[in-house]
Amino acid sequence: MIQENIHNFKKKIPENVTLVAVSKTKPIADLQEAFDAGQRIFGENKVQEMVEKYDVLPKDIQWHMIGHLQRNKVKYMAHFVDLIHGVDSVKTLEEINKQAAKHDRVIKCLLQASIADEETKFGLTFDEIRAILKSNEVASMQHIAIVGLMGMATFTEDETQINSEFSSLKSLFDDLKTSHPTLEILSMGMSGDYEIAIKNGSTMIRVGSSIFGHRNYIV
Ligand SMILES: *Cc1c(COP(=O)(O)O)cnc(C)c1O
């Protein structure tokens, strides 16, 4: 099933859209099955769980941290994490920079924009994103690279609303790219809304349940 789902996704999404297989809460065997189907990018939202999986799975996997990040956990993944999606403060960038330096690495980051109509979703306002990209302090951080933006739409059936939220983030992205050509990733879209996200210019979708099945949260 997982193999089939991976193959189907690869077939139906455009070539310029990267698929992140969101494997949070799923057992190693499920990730291995996705790996055997050719998937190399996995997304997790808890640092400890990601480290445990990193330790036992093949080393050519790219690990993405997609959840809200606690600063004191950055050190546990700084030696291997490929891309951090949910960065929402300069303090977090500072910590990532500091921990990446210890491993002589540059860690790629996405700034998370707040686009949803829900207070539970973290993220920066568009003005805060502009300020971070202009900041000399951030520009001096040698061990991070801000390579794009990430956003989550409101959890709603209202496709018009989802569409307008993704569309607003795409406009910001295009606007910022003219002055910051290093922004290349626009991470938006999950199982329920990736089609709308792709229509709005997403270059990276984060898909969990449509690949691995529903998550069981009784852990
Ligand atoms: C869990 C999660 C996803 C994947 O959600 P699905 O609906 O299962 O595809 C995507 N992005 C983030 C930030 C998540 O936490």
Going from N- to C-terminal start, the domains of the chain cover 2-208
Contact 162, 188 (CB under 8 A): no
Cα 160–Cα 161–Cα 167 angle in degrees, nearest 5: 90
3-state secondary structure labels for all residues of 172-218: HHHHHHHHCCCCCEEEECCCCCHHHHHHCCCCEEEECHHHHCCCCCC
User: Does residue 68's CB lie within 6 angstroms of at least one atom of ligand 1?
Assistant: no
User: Does residue 207's CB lie within 6 angstroms of at least one atom of ligand 1?
Assistant: yes
Count the helix, strand and coil residues of the chain and give each as a percent rounded to the nearest 5. 45, 20, 40
**Model confidence pLDDT, tens digit, residues 157-184:** 999 999 999 999 999 999 999 999 999 9
CATH number given to 2-208: 3.20.20.10
Say what the pLDDT of residue 91 is: 97
Nearest to 39 by CA among 47, 48, 30: 30
- Mean pLDDT for 107-123 is 88
**Model confidence pLDDT, tens digit, residues 37-71:** 999 999 999 999 999 999 999 999 999 999 889 99
Cα 45 to ligand 1 centroid, rounded to whole Å: 9
Say what the pLDDT of residue 154 is: 93
Residue 87: band (very low, low, confident or very high) from pLDDT cuts 50, 70, 90: very high
The protein residue whose alpha carbon is closest to atom 4 in ligand 1 is 208
pTM of the complete model:
0.96
Cα 176 to ligand 1 centroid, rounded to whole Å: 25
